[in-house]
Chain A
């Protein structure tokens, strides 16, 4: 019983012993060891650099998705791809406000919903300063919640602003500065087109994003939806948000069901509108990213395979060079298992040595990549990739060291001692 308990200790001692032997062997054959591990070094460094690049790009894009909002849902009228309404006039399938009445009560997964009416490139003026092409959008108060834009000064639209179509506006901070207004701009009046508007609130500027801005500064002005449409039956689109990304699909189904009913679409007929989930795009992106990572990983894994074959080759050379030594070790009482362990550990130590250098070079690559493009800024090797690379190095050592080690362990001591 006691003997069985001692087995792990004995094994550990054997491994430690073999590791020391292996380090000695590597030290003796410095040049050869470095050249041999070059394959592993290249393999591990490219694996970790590829993972780092993918990881960095993924993080950056995901961050942008987060800024943009992953809970967002966009709705707009659309001609169906088939059926009698295929080429129907756009005006006929436009959204009407009454189609959205009580929608929140019927769609429990939807948190907020807002109509949006766009009027682009309006002239805006404050005292003697003018800014051409300001983006004026008619929205509802919930829009700011959907877009997660906070009003840093003043107030949001009130119910009265919305129902009466008051001439009030919320402007972005960059427009305030461009118009050279007072910092405390709430209560001032600006001219949009030919109409005076009272500034009731100030918005934070949009956070910088990878796509969408096109590098241009956007001056934003928001007015109540009813003010923008002047109560008329005009063209608008709808933005909504779901309660969480997890219920995005439910929200979509609820909206579709509700709108089909209010838009009197018969069963079997295709939708005349589109419900677009941001969450779907995120999932799609993740899927594509995962596939690209897998493919890239597969390609660089081949270099690890080549490195492993190099290790096997040099271990075979090492076994035949040291045949007499193996014979002697066996003669003085080394069991086959001890010889096997010695050579296996040597291969693994060689690979780990390559792995350490490889990861160091990988970090260098990652740093270089992070310097090249803004998209790659956050490129760095994640901890799991370091573990994975080490795991790969050890696995390559064990797999490719096994054959030479078995060969060594099976040597007949008499023949081995007689070997020239």
Chain B
């Protein structure tokens, strides 16, 4: 399976000529300088770049946490460019699942309650909330640790809870921002295998990372520099990821 084989499936994300400028004091920082990108259903994309390359800004825009100064962003055919804060919140709730580097679990409530959180804001009734959250936790392999609080869970388990929370609303895209950044390599591998499985189940995944070995799990590598995309290739054609190619494919077979 490669990037080109997905061209026939529907477009989930279409951004055209997106620019974003920050103002830090009197200085203007152009974080994105006119980016265009299309992501189809069931793609597994890694966005790579050094810090300051604009990959985090792109991630925030894709996640509807931020809005562009110019350009268009269509998510599942819906134009989000001119939405207000409330409209964007609704889009995030319905279409997007976030996984953060530092997990961002609420410390005082159980794993199950953490996973229920997005459903509260989608006004899902109490009883179906429980059920859906439990199903999501089972999907990430934490069916037996539902009632543990975050401080009773290991780093890998915390990130799995976060993934379950991202998945519970059945989002059209899973956005992961350095999902393995706070984990050791063995645990990272576990999370990557989870992603692999979700991808196999049909989930569209976009992941930001600066680690080549993590990016090697993706099927498509988008590289950024100075607020622009300079390389967008299937993983097997990406020069830097080739080194990890064999490792990635072995992980892939392992997962299946």
Contact = CB atoms under 8 A, between A and B. Distances in A.
Interface stretch (A127-135, A261-269, A334-342): A334-342
Contacts of A335: 85-86, 89-90, 121
Q: Most B CB atoms within 10 A — which of A13, A28, A330, A335? A: A335
A409 to B, nearest CB: 9
Interface of A: 10, 13, 17, 24, 28, 324-325, 327-338, 413-414, 417
A217 to B, nearest CB: 72
Nearest to A21: B120
Nearest to A28: B108
Contacts of B169: 333
- Across the A-B interface, give the 10 residue pairs with the lowest CB-CB distance, nearest first: A333-B93, A332-B118, A333-B121, A335-B89, A335-B86, A328-B104, A333-B92, A334-B121, A413-B65, A414-B65
Contacts, number: 57
Contacts of A337: 86
B100 interface: yes
A253 B123 CA distance: 71
Contacts of B93: 332-334
A13 B89 contact: no
A10 B92 contact: no
A333 B122 contact: yes
Interface residues of B, number: 24
A263 B90 CA distance: 89
Contacts of A417: 100, 104
B179 interface: no
- Specify the main secondary structure of chain A where it touches its partner: helix
Interface in B46-82: 60, 63, 65-66
Nearest to B56: A414
Contacts of B94: 333
Contact of B92 (A13, A28, A332, A338): A332
Contacts of B121: 329, 332-335, 338
A336 B98 contact: no
Contacts of A327: 104
Contacts of B122: 333
Contacts of A336: 85-86, 89
Contacts of A329: 117, 121
Given A330-B89, A333-B90, A24 B123 contact: no
Nearest to B165: A332
Q: Most B CB atoms within 10 A — which of A10, A13, A330? A: A330
B106 A333 contact: no
Contact of A333 (B66, B89, B108): B89
A28 B106 CA distance: 13
Contacts of B90: 333, 335
Nearest to A9: B123
Given A324-B104, A336-B85, A417-B104, A331 B63 contact: yes
A333 B60 CA distance: 14
Nearest to B109: A24
Interface string B22-40: 0000000000000000000
A327 B66 CA distance: 12
Nearest to B122: A333
A335 B90 CA distance: 7
9 contacts: A10-B123, A24-B108, A332-B117, A332-B118, A332-B121, A333-B118, A333-B121, A334-B93, A338-B89
Given A331-B63, A333-B90, A414-B65, 14 more contacts: A17-B120, A24-B108, A328-B106, A330-B65, A330-B92, A331-B104, A332-B165, A334-B89, A335-B85, A335-B86, A336-B86, A337-B86, A338-B121, A414-B60
Interface string B87-111: 0011011100010100010101000
Nearest to A322: B106
B106 A332 contact: no
B144 to A, nearest CB: 24
Q: Most A CB atoms within 10 A — which of B60, B89, B165? A: B89
A361 to B, nearest CB: 30
